[in-house]
Amino acid sequence: MNLSYPSGHIPRYDNFELVGLLDETMREGAERCPFSIPASRKAALTRRIVETGVRNVVFGSAPTDPDLMADILAELDRDGAAEGVELAFILLLNCWEPLLERFSRFPDAYKHQVCISFGMVDHKSEEKLFERACEKFRAIGFTKFRVSLLNNFSSGVDEKAYAHITRQIDRSLALGIDTVRINDSLGVCYPETMAVLAANLRHDYQNVHFCVHAHDDKGLGLQNALASIYHGFDLIEGGFSGFGNRSGLPAIEVLMKIFAEKNITIRGLALDDDAVRETGYAAEDTFLVVPNVYRPITGKIVNWENLGVANIPDYLGSERRARKFLTDVGTHDQTLRDVLRRADRPAPDETNALAPFRDALHAEMDEVYRAKRSAYESLIGSLEALYGDGILFEDVAVERAKALAM
């Protein structure tokens, strides 16, 4: 039986405060990128993320990430920029022991700025692996922990699935861990399911901090993230330019725009809009991602609009600062008259009298198209080469292993 809202539940849609923002750009950007990015570029991007005002950056992809995190914290400390910064590491319990050894060499001075986030909490539960791993990390001086609970929401959330989640939360609370990430690990959850889940978890665990890791495989990542906070979660998570595995996570720049309109604040944070936008571009550059020029808020040409009487935002009185362009779809008589008037030229009422101007524009547009068509085909060829060559797909890695001299 699927869950229903707890009795008396009232959602909140605006005018409230969240306790934190978790940024996944570094972890899932590195996981999604089919190329190995140098540590120096990862460190530079992390620095830019921190300079936007973000305080909590998530790592946990590479076995060398603990070393990178230590180097980043040391650099921030030298520059007087480390205050309030926390780097999280997603530690999966199917591969934790080598990472424990690496973290044992982590500088003591920075351990208080690291949060170990345990994933696969239910792995080897009968052996109490989660509890043992947590105690091992406490023994080497780490004090901040949270859990990341993996879920397959393809069938929704019934009482059995909910009980599985709460068992893991109860184990976490028994260890003094009160921050929980609910992972929509496959990106299959629907907002109505997320809303009911968030409402029940908030009702049953009033002193626990929750966020959702909302993948965008069905284009629902942003909706799920918003549903979670509307119905009680108090942390939000995303990535710059929507960086995240596969189709991505909610874009931080979009979240910030929505929060500004709804007066949703994040405790202790005030992100710089220009820095957020530029950091999104830097993330694309770091991970060799072809820019989405129509991405909401920060797409390079998302604020370009077709000129003319067919422009619906203009008709509705939009205050968008759009840059207008003209193509054949906009060469209505009235549009051409408006252009002629702005150029201080006669604007005849007769369609035939506008024909010379229209024909000249169309001829120029046709010439531009032919040049752009050729440039586009060349660009696509370059993209296919960029993402087609030199990638160590699984079968290639196996062949490399076979070639090793034993």
In 3-state terms, what secondary structure has residue 18?
strand
Is residue 221 very low, low, confident or very high in pLDDT (cuts 50, 70, 90)?
Answer: very high
Domain count, the chain: 2
Same domain, 26 and 92: yes
Cα–Cα distance measured from residue 372 to residue 363, given in angstroms and rounded to the nearest whole number: 14
**Do 199 and 50 have their domain in common?**
yes
What secondary structure letter does DSSP report for 44?
H
Indicate whether 299 belongs to any domain.
no
Average pLDDT of the chain?
94
Query: Domain containing 171 — which CATH number?
Result: 3.20.20.70
Q: Are 212 and 309 contained in the same domain?
A: no
Residue with tokens 């869950």: 3
Is the pLDDT at 315 greater than 80, yes or no? no
Q: What is the pLDDT of residues 226-279, one digit of tens each?
A: 999 999 999 999 999 998 888 899 999 999 999 999 999 999 999 988 999 999
Token pair for 388: 């087609």
Domain range for residue 336? Answer: 304-386
Q: Do the beta carbons of residue 236 and residue 211 sit within 8 Å?
A: yes
Residues 347 and 214 reside in one and the same domain: no
Confidence (pLDDT) at 321: 79
* Angle, vertex CA 288, rays to CA 116 and CA 376, nearest 5: 150
Residue 319's pLDDT is: 73
Per the domain annotation, does 401 fall within a domain?
A: no
Q: Which two tokens stand for residue 91?
A: 């530690």
pLDDT for the residue 307 = 87
The reply to whether 133 and 249 lie within a common domain is: yes
Q: What are phi and psi of 346, to 5 degrees?
A: -60, 140
Asked if residue 279 and residue 335 are part of one domain, the reply reads no
Residue 173 pLDDT: 98
Does one domain contain both 356 and 212? Answer: no
Could you tell me the two tokens for 312?
Answer: 């619906």
Predicted confidence (pLDDT) per residue in 374-398, tens digit: 999 999 999 999 998 889 999 999 9
* Alpha-carbon span 234 to 210, nearest angstrom: 6
Same domain flag for 222 and 340: no
Confidence band for 11, pLDDT divided at 50, 70 and 90: very high
3-state secondary structure 205-231: CCCCEEEEEECCCCCCHHHHHHHHHHC
Residues 215 and 344 both lie in one domain: no
Residues 341 and 235 in one domain: no
Contact (Cβ atoms closer than 8 angstroms) between residue 329 and residue 336: no
- 99 in Cβ contact with 91 (< 8 Å): yes
Lowest mean pLDDT among 60-64, 326-330, 357-361: 60-64
**Token output for 133:** 């791993």
Please report how the helices 39-51 and 65-78 are oriented relative to each other, as an axis angle in degrees rounded to 10.
50
Do 280 and 310 lie in one domain? The reply is no
The span from the CA of 197 to the CA of 3, in Å, is: 7
**How far is the CA of 343 from the CAs of 164, 306, 339, 354, in angstroms?**
69, 19, 6, 14
- How far CA 20 is from CA of 23, 233, 238, in Å, comes to 10, 11, 11
Is pLDDT of 406 > 80? no
Q: What is the pLDDT of residues 283-313, one digit of tens each?
A: 999 999 999 999 999 999 999 998 876 677 7
Closest Cα to residue 303, out of 325, 328, 326?
325
Within a domain: 404: no
**How many other CB atoms sit within 10 Å of the CB of residue 17?**
11
